[in-house]
Structure 1
């Protein structure tokens, strides 16, 4: 009985070890900087822009699943860095921006920006 339990434990551990790297590979973001905590280069040399309406969350990554780092409000100037494709299954790209008034930086979904965000793709 003891040998069967040890063998069962070892076989189930081996299955987890083999399966885990594939699961991580499937969920890996297309670009590392767009993941939660990633910060891209400032590639957009354009001017300063304002958000659309109300309060807009600035997130640590290009997904609503990433933590909020700050908030920007209508009329506050934003310095765009670049845009990235979404990490999740939604139809919007995300722009990384710095709020000139508060200094907060983060990812904002393009549909929440009055001009739909940066036109320069992140590398």
Structure 2
């Protein structure tokens, strides 16, 4: 049996698995909250020194509009977190200092955001 003959079944398996990989990616991305969405307030965490000039977006994706900025001197009230369309986790918070509310990527927050998962 030649090497080419052995590789063909592997190529066929890879072709069959590609749609499954795409479906898995679509499922993971589906947990994100689209622009304009607001989750329930499930997390009692609030405090200062959590965000240093971080955009508060209307959804859990950088393509969603910014509703304002959160700064270290502002008091944030976390609601919950979700997996964003970009594969990063995002926390929804209300800025008690400015009145703005929105989604912020967790890797931009000093404490990595909420520890309570938003419902899907």
TM-score of the alignment, normalized to the shorter chain, above 0.5? yes
Match of 1:3 in 2: none
Q: Deviations over 1:34-53 (max 9, x none)?
A: 11011000000223243243
Q: 1: distance between equivalents of 2:38 and 2:93?
A: 10
Aligned 8 A contact 1:49 1:79 in 2:
no
Q: Which residue of 2 aligns with 1:21?
A: none
Q: What stretches of structure 1 move > 2 A for 4+ residues in a row?
A: 46-53
Whether contact under 8 Å (2:43, 2:116) holds in the other structure is yes
TM-score by length of 1: 0.68
What does 1:33-112 correspond to in 2, within 5 Å? 34-53=33-52, 55-88=53-86, 90=87, 92-112=88-108
Measured in 2, the distance between the counterparts of 1:115 and 1:62 equals: 18
**Does the Cα contact within 8 Å between 1:40 and 1:96 map onto a contact in 2?**
yes
Gap regions ≥5 residues in structure 1: 1-25
- Aligned residues between the structures: 94
Question: Where does structure 2 lack aligned partners over 5 or more consecutive residues?
Answer: 1-25
Cα root mean square deviation, aligned: 2.0
TM-score (normalizing by structure 2): 0.70
